[in-house]
Structures are given as C-alpha cells and as structure tokens.
Structure 1
Amino acid sequence: MQVQGKKPYNEINITPLVDLTFVLLIIFILLTTAAVQGIKVDLPSASASQSLNEPKSRVIAVANDGTVSIDAVPVSMAELEGELRTSIASEPETAVILRGDRAVQYDQIMQVLDLCSKVGVASLGMASTRPPGEG
C-alpha cells in the first residue's frame, strides 16, 4: 500500500542553516564589541576639552567604587606602580591618560596623580569629558 502525494526528498533544505549562521554571526559581533569597551566610567562634562593624541599612551581609570585599572585591567596601587615603571623604562615619552568617575573620592585621584609624579610620567592628561549637552 502506497501513500498518495508523498514523495521522497531529493534535496536538503539549507534555509534553517543559513538563518542559524546569521544569528550566530550577530551574537558574535555584539559580544565582541561589548568586550572591547573596557571599564565604564561616568565622566564629568565640560564646555571645552582637548584630546590627547599620543601614539604611546596608557589609560588609568578610577571607578566610583575606588577600583583602579590600567588599560582596562584592574590592579592594586603597587601593581600600577610596577606597570608604569615598566612603561617609562621601555618608552620614556609614554603618556598617561587619567579617567576618573565623577563620583570617585578626590583622595583616590590624588593617590594616582602622586604615583604618576613619583614614577616620573612625562606627559599626564585627563580623559576628554563628555560634551556639555550629554548629561
């Protein structure tokens, strides 16, 4: 007995595989861009700001909970000093960009500034702030 209207498949339908591939690609793109952003710091706004365009620079961020990081890697103050000394030894003209959250205690920023002075950082700048209309 044979069922009428049913034929065996001769081809494989790849449409679901293409859909899955696009979904995986979109997920990969979103996760990669989210991981590159680094540490979130709420910068204060200013009416005029200049950007520091040094080829060799290190970014030190101080989060509102007091966490200090260099190039998005959390470090202690002793580790920060070691990293800065290594950078200055290899490239004496290394610029340091300090990013401080607007809610961080002034004492924590001063500790980082004193450390940079102690190590002998030649060029120190504050991170560019957000434009005045942005919160």
Structure 2
Amino acid sequence: MAVKLSNNRGAVGGVPPVSEINVTPLVDVMLVLLIVFMVAAPLMASGVKVDLPTSNAKPLSEEKPPIAVSLNAAGKLYVDKTEVTNATLVGALTSATEGDKTRRINIRGDKGLAYGKVIEAMGEINDAGFSKIALVSEPPQTP
C-alpha cells in the first residue's frame, strides 16, 4: 500500500527542485573577508608614512663637494682635516663654504662618541644658518 504524495518527480514534500544558486552564503563569506581585510590592512603597513620619489627622480648633483665636519672618539671637531673648537666651528665653516649657506655639510661622528656631542655640533651649524646638514654612516659589512 504505497501512497503517492505528488506528481512531481524528485520533489520533496510537493515542492519542485530549485535550479538557482543560493548566493546568501557566498555574500556572508565575502562580507566576513572584507571586514577581516579592513581590520588587518592598517596593521600590515609597518614604519612611518613616507612620500617616495617617483621613478624619474634623479640623483643629487652638486657643483661643489660637501664640507665634512668630523667628531672623533675624543670629541675633537674637524672641518675637513683642520681641527677646530666649538667656538671657531662656525667661522671655519663660513670660510670653507665661502659664505654659501646652501652648501651641503656632512657630519661624521665616531660611533663611540656620545650622541649629545653630535647633536650639539649639528645645532651650532644649524643656528649659523646652514640648512643642508646630513649625518654620514657606514653601510653594514656583510661577511
């Protein structure tokens, strides 16, 4: 005694099969991924925001070489290879640059020297009106 429930073959409970894709789970997964990436994206950027130069950036070309201010481990100051004191530093720089305040000045400090000494010399040079000041370091040596 079999009872026939419907005339549609393959139908469950009298409802015909649906031939459309259910996109609700797909939308749910996409929204979850969107939220995850929105939260994780700021964490992936490490470091400080920097405006990088474009690919057509050219290297600096200066007519005159920079003036080197060196501080050795004992804290003695040198302009190029001439020893100077803190009081005569600005005068020696002015004569070495021939009064050109836009000339680049490279500060080279010994790694054993206290950081404050280098900053003090840099401050004196900046107070004298020189604006193009650079700190020089050695690249790491690979074994």
- Using the size of structure 2 for normalisation, the TM-score is 0.51
TM-score normalised by the chain length of structure 1? 0.53
Shift of 1:98: 0.4
The 10-residue stretch of structure 1 (109-118 or 122-131) with the greater mean CA deviation from structure 2: 122-131
In the TM superposition, what is the alpha-carbon distance from 1:129 to its structure 2 partner?
1.4
Distance 1:52 1:126, change over 3 A: farther
Unmatched 5+ stretches in structure 1: 1-50
Which has the larger Rg? Answer: 2
Counterpart CA distance in 2 for 1:66 and 1:85 is 21
| Number of equivalenced pairs | 84
User: Which amino acid is 2:73 matched to?
Assistant: N
Report the equivalent of 2:70: 61
How many angstroms apart in 1 are the aligned matches of 2:125 and 2:61? Answer: 19
Q: Contact (CA 8 Å) 2:79, 2:93: kept in 1 or not? A: no
Aligned to 2:100: 91
Corresponding residue for residue 120 of structure 2: 111
RMSD: 2.4
Unpaired segments of 5 or more residues in structure 2?
Answer: 1-58
Structure holding more helix per residue: 1
Instruction: Give the number of the structure with larger relative contact order, counting CA–CA contacts within 8 Å between residues 6 or more apart.
Output: 1
TM-superposed deviation, 1:122: 2.1
Q: Give the share of equivalent positions with the same residue, in percent.
A: 19
Check 1:59–1:75 CA distance in 2 against 1; reply closer, same or farther (3 A cut). same
